[in-house]
């Protein structure tokens, strides 16, 4: 069987003439498009920086924008080569749906992280309480928020649960009230006790004098007259004030001769017949 090289040469020339310009144009488009997408990514990053946009959120937005641009570019290049992109887009969409279903928990956490960074209910350094955990925000990562509790334990809170759950942020306001309760005996002088409690609260180094303190009788208990003592302080000084008040209230009430009731039980023994 004789093979005529000219036949294959003619076919090669025909293919080169038919597809050569398309391939060259596709390659040029790919390079120029990639350069433009990279340039637009830098422009977007600079614009977000000038707008003082959240530094943690900037990489996510730039990354999403450039990724979408590259996907559109690649589909356009494939279409320029004569490939039908309709079925390709359908397959890509089905694959994206399958991946989304498989990673819906992780994607939910990622979306929660983006919402946290956009609406800023919390930020790094805030003292918050969520899901029964209290701690300082160490970092807000794409999928989790890292909290450091007062006992020096690190907690990883999923961003999905954090963004959709209840959050107590103790650091938003610059003044925080410390709610305390102290009891005295029914036989003690209420006015004198109130004077002692007020004096201790005012003498605390970290209390804010322009906001109190508030001292008043809050309850007539079973065995004590209870006072509500409410000094104010900066959020960072909460525990300093809390411990100072308990220690010094005991000392000053003892000096003033005012008793602090405690539970007691009387036991009566009956002789056997």
> What's the mean per-residue pLDDT of the chain?
81
Over 60: is that where the pLDDT of 273 sits?
no
Number of neighbours of residue 62 by Cβ within 10 angstroms: 18
Q: Which residue has the higher pLDDT, 244 or 1?
A: 244
Pair 211, 176: CB distance under 8 Å = no
Written as six digits, the tokens of 109 are 């956490």
Q: How sure is the predictor about 55, in pLDDT bands with cuts at 50, 70 and 90?
A: low
The least confident of 10-14, 74-78, 188-192 is 10-14
Pair 88, 78: CB distance under 8 Å = yes
Residue 213: cis peptide before it, omega within 30 degrees of 0: yes
pTM: 0.58
Residues listed for the chain: 273
Domains and CATH numbers, the chain: 5-102 (1.10.287.1260), 123-169 (2.30.30.60), 176-255 (3.30.70.100)
| pLDDT 10s digits, 180-201 | 999 999 999 999 999 999 999 9
Question: Residue 165's pLDDT is what?
Answer: 84
The DSSP string of 42-62 is HHHHHHHHHTT--TTTHHHHH
Question: Residue 230's pLDDT is what?
Answer: 95
Sheet holding 225-230, edge to edge: 180-184, 225-230, 214-220
Nearest alpha-carbon partner for 224 in 187, 173, 175: 187
Over 80: is that where the pLDDT of 83 sits?
no
The DSSP string of 200-268 is HHHH-TTB-GGG--EEEEEEE-SS-EEEEEE-EE-GGGHHHHHHHHHHHHHHHHHHTT-----------
């Amino acid at each position: 069987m004789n093979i005529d090289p000219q036949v294959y040469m003619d076919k090669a020339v025909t293919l080169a003439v038919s597809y050569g310009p398309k391939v060259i144009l596709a390659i040029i488009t790919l390079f120029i498009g990639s350069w433009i997408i990279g340039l637009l990514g830098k422009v977007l990053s600079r614009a977000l920086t000038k707008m003082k946009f959240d530094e943690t959120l900037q990489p996510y937005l730039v990354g999403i924008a450039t990724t979408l641009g590259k996907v559109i570019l690649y589909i356009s290049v494939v279409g320029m080569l004569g490939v039908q992109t309709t079925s390709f887009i359908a397959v890509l969409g089905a694959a994206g749906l399958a991946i989304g279903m498989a990673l819906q928990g992780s994607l939910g956490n990622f979306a929660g992280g983006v919402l946290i960074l956009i609406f800023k209910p919390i930020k790094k350094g805030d003292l918050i309480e969520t899901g029964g955990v209290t701690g300082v925000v160490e970092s807000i990562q794409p999928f989790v928020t890292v909290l450091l509790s007062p006992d020096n334990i690190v907690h990883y809170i999923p961003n999905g649960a954090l963004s959709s759950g209840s959050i107590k942020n103790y650091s938003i306001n610059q003044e925080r009230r410390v709610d305390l309760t102290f009891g005295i005996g029914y036989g003690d002088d209420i006015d004198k006790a109130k004077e002692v409690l007020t004096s201790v609260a005012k003498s605390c180094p970290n209390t804010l004098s322009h906001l109190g303190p508030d001292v008043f009788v809050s309850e007539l208990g079973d065995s004590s007259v209870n006072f509500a003592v409410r000094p104010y302080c900066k959020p960072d000084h909460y525990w300093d004030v809390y411990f100072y008040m308990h220690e010094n209230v005991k000392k000053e009430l003892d000096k003033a001769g005012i008793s602090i009731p405690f539970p007691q039980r009387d036991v009566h023994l009956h002789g056997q017949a």
